[in-house]
Structure 1
């Protein structure tokens, strides 16, 4: 099992799903991901841990009070050892600071912000809760990418927050995709940025499954929607979907 005990600054370290139906999310993701669930109760505002063999893999949370109509979505958190310093750079780099830094007792500090294109993302400084304790295996998150129609401001913004090395892996025209690595990642990409004609940019969460085709069948049977039939890529067999609450997620059978 690829157990994680640290994340370098700038690497996606945690994901959670904001949904008005956390119990429905358990019914959907549990069979597909092999997760068990631990509800943390009122002290943590109804937060639920998704566990893989007892290790934290992701989280579920209801929308905050007054924002019950917030669309369901997976939230991506970037590791930040000095969260306050990174958060201060958000506005200087052209983004919008939204929330934080906020203390989570016994776990760490979080903040939320929008990048210049309006994409929400989180920052996480560990102090007890590292983030995902597993990565890159069935039942765990395995990749994250920013999809945007306007890549230049996004590339510049995130490079101001973290020392990303942003390497073009396409031709930059018909296929514009940059892979981002950081010091401490041994030169391996930790996330990516993809240019596509989308009306609103977003961070994507990829979750690893044993078999993509079986996951697609489960999605349909559990009330989700398969956006594209399973297809092969150099990095695995992919199934872009939405869950029953409408949150976008891609299931991936790793190569």
Structure 2
């Protein structure tokens, strides 16, 4: 598999206090199976759908007095993670975890944009990222959720060279970042009435499913919570959820669409 263009979403993982519980939840909701935990890398455990790598879960590092909030982290591709880290600083972002080598798999860093959104950067070695995308049980889309859109809109194109277009919609402030060959990432404003102040900006990761309503019912049966939806859209029937440990994510059935695609400007 060739390296993906810089700025392309290539991987996602999440830290859970109860990693086994997370595996059981996502195994039922998304049909994932899991490899043996990699003790050399902090019990990092890769998830698979039909034998293809789609994500990973990991417990908190030993000695952490207060484990971080559970959240999915989206990694964006880079041919040189150190150079990307420098551009992040130049654009007003913060490097939270300095570039580091992860064995033969690749190199990474963790960063935060000026509006508070945390994301990862991945320079691939033997681990090229997603082995399955856009199909049930795998990553399909992601959106930067921010209260300060002007900061995110300036930062991400400055770091990753994105083009940017705004959706023509009087009811929602939504922007799409692209790399010339099509959209790669969305940006959504967090309305004050819908998001309590204690909810930090974040990246909403979407996983494809073949039946949105069934996925929601399964999540709720397993103590997940529906935040929004299920709702029809031109992109598919989707819903936003919280898993039992509070990590936000979304599911979408791209095969069930309603309405016309919105225009962009």
Instruction: Give the TM-score, by structure 2 length.
Output: 0.89
Q: Is the 8 A contact 1:13 1:132 kept in 2?
A: yes
CA offsets per residue over residues 79-112 of structure 1, 9 Å max, x none? 1112111110111111111112111112000000
C-alpha offsets along residues 126-154 of structure 1, whole Å, 9 cap, x if unaligned? Answer: 00101111110101011001011211111
Cα distance in structure 2, aligned partners of 1:22 and 1:68: 16
- The alpha-carbon deviation at position 189 of structure 1 amounts to 0.2
Deviations 1:226-255 (A, max 9, x none): 122311111111111111111001111113
TM-score of the superposed pair, with normalisation by structure 1: 0.93
Deviation at 1:41, TM superposition (A): 2.6
What residue is the counterpart of 1:81 in the other structure? 79
| CA–CA distance in structure 2, aligned partners of residues 212 and 125 of structure 1 | 33
Q: Is the counterpart of residue 152 in structure 1 residue 118 in structure 2?
A: no
Corresponding residue for 2:50? Answer: 53
Q: Measure, in 2, the Cα distance between the counterparts of 1:176 and 1:79.
A: 26
Cα RMSD for the two superposed structures: 1.4
From 22, 25, 44, the equivalent of 2:41 is 44
Shift in Å, 1:67: 5.2
Matched residues in 1 for 2:49 and 2:4: separation? 18
- Alignment partner, residue 262 of structure 2: none
Residue in structure 1 matched with residue 179 of structure 2 by the alignment: 182
Give, in angstroms, the shift of residue 27 of structure 1: 0.7
Contact 2:116–2:146 (CA under 8 A) maintained in structure 1: no
Give the corresponding residue for 2:253: 253
- Which one of the candidate residues 190, 194, 203 is aligned to 2:188? 194
| Cα displacement string for residues 182-229 of structure 1 (whole angstroms, at most 9, x for unaligned residues) | 14xx2x101111122244321110011110010111011111111223
* Structure 1 spans left out of the alignment, 5+ residues: none
Which position in structure 2 is the counterpart of 1:98?
96
| Residue number in structure 1 paired with 2:132 | 134
- Which is further off, 67-76 or 234-243? 67-76
Q: Which one scores higher on RCO, CA 8 angstroms, separation ≥ 6?
A: 1
TM-fit CA distance, 1:5: 5.1
1:28 and 2:21 correspond: no
